[in-house]
Structure 1
Amino acid sequence: MKWFKVMLTVCFSFLAVAGYSQMTMDKSAWTFEAKKKSGNQYELITHLKLEKGWHIYAMKPGGDGTLIAPSITYNANPAVKLTGTVKEKGKLISQNLEGIKGKVNMYSGTVDYVQTATITGPTTITGSYEYQICNDMMCLPPTTKQFKVAVK
């Protein structure tokens, strides 16, 4: 009988944890655009909107080296030449967080990730982005998703 009680407790504990993790949905919305600047010069912009109370670490998150920074990767495309690196645009928050040594850099609300590119004709740009978002209580698991942007 004792074995049955232990197994029952373990099963209920597992179900409670699984149910809670499924209830916590991704609180981020990502959109993508190719904005023509002049001639063949474009900005490939990734827009991120986070629900209130959630944040994403900066690409250079600071802290103690354990934080997961977002990244955007563009697949090779003969019609696209990337210039420089992805730049973040938003209101950077730098603060100390409990349990992490050093200042932590992050964004809440909205942030844009901008990549400059030369595009030599109509094409579709593809790639992936990896990120992790957090609130004051927890971080969701790191996520990798694919994207596609048509340039006419």
Structure 2
Amino acid sequence: MKRILIFLTIILLSGMSGYSQILKPITWSYAAKKTSAKEVTLYMKASLEKGWHLYAQKVGEGGPVATSFYFPVSKLYDLLGRTVEPQPIKKFEPVFMMEVSYFETTAVFQQKVKLKGKQATVKGSIKFMVCNDKQCLPPSEVFFSIPIK
């Protein structure tokens, strides 16, 4: 009898493990390229699984969470302007009852930086939200550190 209970418990637990998958439909990668002796362009690339999309930096009130970049103040560099994004797709989404701007497959965001010395490490975070045609994941935040030499 004990063997049967143990066997049934193992089968039930192994069947439930398929339902506890953590979805990670987006990955971020980072790079920096010097454009002059003191200026650098940072690249923050979002790669999305098929069917998922990432919202743009400007989203209307009542819509999804917009992608936002945070760079703490540093003695090693200054930001030059705002973070630039590629041209987003614009589409009416019935879930939000509004037109939204988003990216599919990939999106490369760029931030220009002016160095105060010869090198620095730019740290910051990205807050974002991803959805597909069936669900939206809760807003997430990733932290990054981009060395500049």
TM-score normalised over the length of structure 1: 0.80
Deviation at 1:99, TM superposition (A): 3.0
Which of residues 88, 106, 112 is equivalent to 2:108? Answer: 112
Which of residues 112, 118, 122 is equivalent to 2:119? Answer: 122
Measured on the aligned residues, the alpha-carbon RMSD in Å equals: 2.1
Deviation at 1:33, TM superposition (A): 1.3
* Overall identity of the aligned pairs, in %: 30
Does the residue aligned with 1:68 lie in a helix, a strand or coil? Answer: coil
Equivalent AA in structure 2 for residue 88 of structure 1: E
5 Å-filtered alignment, 1:74-113, equals 74-89=71-86, 91-113=87-109
Deviation at 1:122, TM superposition (A): 1.3
Which of residues 23, 33, 48 is equivalent to 1:50? Answer: 48
Summarize deviations over 1:118-152 as a string: whole Å, max 9, x none: 01321111111111111000011111121101111
CA distance in 2, matches of 1:54, 1:99: 15
Structure-2 residue corresponding to 1:137: 134
Q: Give the count of matched residue pairs.
A: 135
CA distance in 2, matches of 1:53, 1:68: 18
Stretches (4+) displaced over 4 A = none
Summarize deviations over 1:51-74 as a string: whole Å, max 9, x none: 110001111124x52310111111
Q: Which has the higher strand share?
A: 1
Deviation at 1:24, TM superposition (A): 4.2
CA distance in 2, matches of 1:95, 1:24: 28
